C-alpha cells in the first residue's frame, strides 16, 4: 500500500516526472489522418457527409453514421461538427425575432407596397398582351381576304 510521505513528498515507490494520466493536449487531440487541407475538421466532416448523401443516396442520418465510422466518432459528434461547420460557413438558419408592434406595422407596410407595385406590373403585362393581341387581330383581318381566296381556289380545283 502506498502512502504519502510525512513531508508532503511523492508517494512511496513513485518516480519524479511520471504521471498516471496523459497531458490534456495529448489526450484530447487526435491525429489529422483524414484531413489534408486548410479547412477545419468540422468543414471536412460537413463536406464528407454531404458527399456521402449525394454519392450513395442515403439519408443524412445514415451518412452521419458512415462518416462517424470513417472519423472514429459518434454520429452525434458528427452532427455537432456539421452544425459548427454550417455556423462557420454562415449557412445556419437565423432565429425569427419576436414581433413587436412597430415591426408588425413595418412588415404590413412593406407587404402593401409590394402589392401596390405588383398591380402596376400586372397592368403593364396586360397592356403588352393587349397590344400583341391587337397586332395579331390586325394581321389576321388584313390577311383574311387572301387566305379565303386561296382556300376557295383549292376548293374549285378539287371540284373540277
Q: How many domains does the chain have?
A: 2
- Cα radius of gyration (the chain): 38
pLDDT bucket at 5, cuts 50 / 70 / 90: low
C-alpha span between 64 and 47 (Å, rounded): 11
Query: Scanning the structure block, which residue is given the C-alpha cell 513528498?
Result: 9
C-alpha span between 121 and 143 (Å, rounded): 33
pLDDT bucket at 126, cuts 50 / 70 / 90: very high
- Point out the domain boundary residue: 89, 120, 141: 89
What's the pTM? 0.38
Cα 69 to Cα 2, 7, 35, 103: the distances in Å are 42, 50, 15, 48
Environment class of 59 (CB within 10 Å of its CB; exposed 0-12, middle 13-18, buried 19+): exposed
138 assigned to some structural domain: yes
- Whether residue 42 sits in one domain with residue 78: yes
Between the two ends of the chain, the Cα-to-Cα distance in Å is 129
Q: What is the tens place of the pLDDT at every residue in 53-109?
A: 999 999 999 999 999 998 899 999 999 999 898 888 888 777 777 778 888 899 999
Q: Is 4 helix (H, G, I), strand (E, B) or coil?
A: strand
Q: What is the pLDDT of residue 35?
A: 47
4 assigned to some structural domain: no
99 assigned to some structural domain: no
pLDDT reading at 26 higher than 80 = no
Q: What is the pLDDT of residue 86?
A: 87
Q: Give me the helices (H) in 2-100, please.
A: 24-28, 41-56, 60-71, 75-89
- Whether residue 81 sits in one domain with residue 35: yes
Q: What is the pLDDT of residue 18?
A: 53
- Whether residue 122 sits in one domain with residue 83: no
Residues spanned by the domain of 160? 110-160
Amino acid at each position: 500500500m502506498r502512502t504519502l510521505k510525512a513531508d508532503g513528498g511523492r508517494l512511496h515507490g513513485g518516480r519524479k516526472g511520471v504521471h498516471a494520466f496523459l497531458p490534456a493536449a495529448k489526450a484530447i487531440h487526435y491525429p489529422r489522418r483524414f484531413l489534408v487541407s486548410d479547412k477545419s475538421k468540422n468543414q471536412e466532416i460537413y463536406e464528407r457527409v454531404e458527399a456521402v448523401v449525394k454519392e450513395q443516396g442515403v439519408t443524412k442520418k445514415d451518412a452521419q453514421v458512415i462518416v462517424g465510422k470513417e472519423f472514429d466518432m459518434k454520429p452525434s459528434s458528427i452532427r455537432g461538427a456539421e452544425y459548427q461547420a454550417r455556423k462557420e460557413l454562415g449557412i445556419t438558419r437565423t432565429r425569427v425575432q419576436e414581433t413587436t408592434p412597430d415591426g408588425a406595422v413595418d412588415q404590413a407596410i412593406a407587404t402593401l407596397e409590394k402589392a401596390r407595385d405588383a398591380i402596376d406590373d400586372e397592368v403593364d403585362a396586360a397592356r403588352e398582351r393587349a397590344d400583341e393581341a391587337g397586332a395579331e387581330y390586325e394581321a389576321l383581318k388584313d390577311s383574311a381576304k387572301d387566305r379565303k381566296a386561296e382556300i376557295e381556289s383549292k376548293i374549285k380545283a378539287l371540284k373540277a
